Copies of this chain bind each other. A is one copy, B any other.
């Protein structure tokens, strides 16, 4: 019996290549699409094709963009601060806080010897070029990397690399999350939050 049909099998195959989606979920999605009108599927596949064909990475800051006018070229931002992040979702997360008006620089990953990612695989050269050549001068580089071993290694590497350019290097604060209970915080975080305590202003 030729079942499920080739078309279904093929769609399942392609969908289950996506991360976190297995064959069973893919089948469920396929059956869902088959129950919707044709327009739904058409919109979905067109949006994917357009996404992949037209989305570009800014050659300066490596943020995804659909125009050549990336954020890093707009004068509406504060042009003397660069926030260095691992990847695009971090940019979205920081933008959602509405607390930052400067520029971004997407590294495209963090240094991870286990996964074979060294500094050369990351967008570090372009970061150095931005700091060297920028007009107005970059005054502060904020490292907004995850507090993991890889993130810390990358931060350490960047600090060493950027020292010679006389730019101020800061890191986002580590500490007790807002709403977090002190007694449930791990010792490392709590210890760090005491060491890096801030003044009441």
Point out residues on A near B: beta carbons under 8 Å.
1-8, 10-11, 13-15, 17-20, 25, 27-34, 38, 40-55, 63-67, 71, 74, 76-77, 87-89, 91-92, 95
Q: Which of B32, B40, B46, B91 contacts A45 (CB 8 A)?
A: B46
A1-B77 in contact (CB<8A) = yes
Q: Which residue of A45, A51, A66, A89 has the most chain B CB atoms within 10 A of its CB atom?
A: A51
Residues on B with beta carbons closer than 8 Å to the beta carbon of A3:
63, 71, 91-92, 95
Query: Once the chains are docked, how many angstroms separate the CA of A89 from the CA of B31?
Result: 9
Measured CB to CB, the nearest residue on chain B to A46 is B45
Residues on B with beta carbons closer than 8 Å to the beta carbon of A10:
47, 50-51
Q: List 5 A-B contacts (CB under 8 A).
A: A4-B88, A7-B47, A8-B64, A14-B47, A27-B89
Query: Once the chains are docked, how many angstroms separate the CA of A50 from the CA of B64?
Result: 29
Residues on B with beta carbons closer than 8 Å to the beta carbon of A31:
87-89
Residues on B with beta carbons closer than 8 Å to the beta carbon of A48:
11, 14-15, 33, 41, 44-45
A33-B11 in contact (CB<8A) = no
Q: Which of B18, B29, B53, B64 contacts A5 (CB 8 A)?
A: B64
Measured CB to CB, the nearest residue on chain B to A17 is B40
Chain B proximity of A144: nearest CB distance (Å): 15
Chain B proximity of A97: nearest CB distance (Å): 12
Query: Once the chains are docked, how many angstroms separate the CA of A25 from the CA of B19?
Result: 10
The 3 closest A-B pairs by CB, nearest first: A45-B45, A41-B52, A5-B66
Residues on B with beta carbons closer than 8 Å to the beta carbon of A47:
7, 10-11, 13-15
